[in-house]
Structure 1
Amino acid sequence: MNAKVVVVGSLNMDLVARAPRLPRAGETLAGDSFCTVPGGKGANQAVAAARLGAGVAMVGNIGDDPYGLQLRQALEAEGVDCQGVSVCPGVSSGVALITVDAASQNCIVIVPGANGLLSPESVQRCDALLQAAEVIICQLEVPSETVAWTLARARSLGKRVILNPAPAVGPLPAHWFANIDYLTPNESEAQALTAMPVNDLDSARRAGERLLQLGAGKVIVTLGAQGALLVSREGSQHFPAPVVQPLDTTAAGDTFIGGFAAALVQGQEEGEAIAFGQRAAALSVTRAGAQPSIPYLVELAP
């Protein structure tokens, strides 16, 4: 299967502890369970797109440690092309320390490891993959100069470009926006990108309009249980979320992105692709873990 979706981004091993609640500063809590789960926003999005019907290639870095081997094997098991996944000698793989409470909310500390060494030159060596793609996806868990280079190269190749601005801690560089077809922040990320409060549909629309003014092609603000809001120069459209009982919200946003991209390369129109991504994300939050929670296409059959 040719890789029509190329994901340039992070691979992390998620170290997940479940506890009754999130600890306060300086507090030690007794947890309920612990597991290690392949994750990272880039790898999660690659797995989601692959499980949901797309041919996918991953470009990223792993360390020369047992976690790195497990991360590569997890992608290969899903049929993801890993020729663009490089091993960094003497460096740990990225890890994410995740605590999930009884209400399914989480807090996360990320140690980039090998992800921090993904350079523009690393991506350039995979240019054949970029040239063959239809959709190229980036996030913010690898160096910003690498994201900038990839966005610009994807635009020069005429590809559809998705930037998931996660984790966002402030505004994006101004010159990035013209290279983005779909900017996909959640509420907190939209607030960080615009310095505007985002807590409902109206404020999400205003933030989306601001990001359009800055030059983004279109903006999809994901709002959890409130659904998603597409903001474009033609106006805005709200997509209500399917109603589910959440267990673990980890990777829900990544599942949405992967599903959205997979639907686009399979020829679905924009609104259908958003709704498809939402259905996949809704199913994912009813399950624990990052990649283990991501559904397969057959599970979303009407």
Structure 2
Amino acid sequence: MDARPPGHVAIVGSINVDFVCRVAHFPHPGETMHVRDTTTGPGGKGANQAIAVARLGMPVELAGQMGDDPLAQVARDALSDAGVGTRFVRVQQGGGTGRAFITVNDAGENQILVHGGANMALHPDDVPGLARVLDGARVLMVQMEIPADIVVRICDQARAHDIVIIVDPAPVPPDGIPDALFTLATVMTPNETETQALTGVLPTDADSARAAADILHGRGVECAIIKMGARGVFHSTRDGASGFVPPFAVTAIDSVAAGDCFGAGLARMLAAGAPMDRAVRYAAACGALATTRPGAADAAPTAAEVEELLARE
């Protein structure tokens, strides 16, 4: 493995280009409607999280795969401009860079269609190269926008090196996530929809979130963090410690990538050695700020903005 500065956040995940449309309401089946605005920019949960970590002033390295099409340069430029390390990003010859088609309504809600492209073309033979990103890392972040078996293999290697593993189980595959990820995860961070898919419980308050978290602990998760958007965040550990972070008072206009920014804040704090309750509150502030501006990676807050919000609340 290459020599690396100690303490960085390693991310293995997806790299997309997002095409965002803003509309008054989501179209009904068969409806044709004009959009108010369109934007194109970097996306994919892996890239979003990497840019968000970099915005918070933490060294970050991303491993993944993009195509050799024109969209790849859009993604690579955005990552480089944000200060994300990309030397472990592979290029699939003849492949297409992942892309997402996002519709955002006036309530700030979103609907997202993703074509994985090169992200989903990763093969087990690629794992040794991807795993080089772990050398010197304190925290690993993974998501489910690359093949699940790749995620498991990377987490296996991270666990062998005592690296904190944050599993964002999004999007939950139709057949669920591999059982191994529940035991490999140091922290799992599902939102309401993902929590229901994984546990059968829809969390709407601290009590229902606790019930869902208990199921995750029973499956092996060491720390469960249940993100409930405007209802706050519940977190608990397998040894019985728990806490609740109420929602921050912000004006939300766009929830795209709020979960990615939450994860970035969590990773930044855990990499710095912060206790879990402080890390979750910091992460919740990052997620809240991300909802106050449009875009995916572009919505990620800076460390100064997060500290200002925390000081106000």
TM-score (norm 1): 0.96
For 1:27-46, list aligned pairs within 5 A.
27-46=31-50
For 1:1-302, list aligned pairs within 5 A.
2=5, 4-168=8-172, 169-233=174-238, 234-302=240-308
Greater mean alpha carbon deviation, residues 164-173 or residues 37-46: 164-173
- The CA deviation string for residues 103-130 of structure 1, in whole angstroms up to 9 with x for no partner, is 1111010000110112333231133321
Secondary structure (helix, strand or coil) at the match of 2:61 reads strand
Tell me how far apart the structure 2 counterparts of residues 42 and 127 of structure 1 sit (CA, whole Å). 15
Tell me how far apart the structure 2 counterparts of residues 14 and 128 of structure 1 sit (CA, whole Å). 27
Greater mean alpha carbon deviation, residues 113-122 or residues 147-156: 113-122
Structure 1 residue 214: Cα displacement: 0.5
Secondary structure (helix, strand or coil) at the match of 2:135 reads helix
Q: Which residue of 1 aligns with 2:311?
A: none
Tell me how far apart the structure 2 counterparts of residues 273 and 241 of structure 1 sit (CA, whole Å). 15
Q: Does the CA-based 8 Å contact 2:139-2:164 persist in structure 1?
A: yes
Q: Does the CA-based 8 Å contact 1:62-1:88 persist in structure 2?
A: yes
Q: Does the CA-based 8 Å contact 1:225-1:243 persist in structure 2?
A: no
Structure 1 residue 267: Cα displacement: 2.5
- The CA deviation string for residues 125-176 of structure 1, in whole angstroms up to 9 with x for no partner, is 1333213111001000000110111111111111100000001145322222
Tell me how far apart the structure 2 counterparts of residues 247 and 163 of structure 1 sit (CA, whole Å). 26
Change (3 A) 1:172 1:126: closer
Tell me how far apart the structure 2 counterparts of residues 192 and 297 of structure 1 sit (CA, whole Å). 33
Secondary structure (helix, strand or coil) at the match of 1:123 reads helix
Q: Does the CA-based 8 Å contact 1:118-1:142 persist in structure 2?
A: yes
Secondary structure (helix, strand or coil) at the match of 1:96 reads strand
Percent identical among aligned pairs is: 38
Tell me how far apart the structure 1 counterparts of residues 95 and 228 of structure 2 sit (CA, whole Å). 36
Q: Does the CA-based 8 Å contact 2:148-2:178 persist in structure 1?
A: no
Tell me how far apart the structure 2 counterparts of residues 80 and 147 of structure 1 sit (CA, whole Å). 20
Structure 1 residue 189: Cα displacement: 0.1
CA RMSD of aligned residues (A): 1.4
Greater mean alpha carbon deviation, residues 171-180 or residues 274-283: 171-180
Unaligned runs of 5+ in 2: 309-313
Greater mean alpha carbon deviation, residues 23-32 or residues 169-178: 169-178
Q: Does the CA-based 8 Å contact 1:230-1:237 persist in structure 2?
A: yes
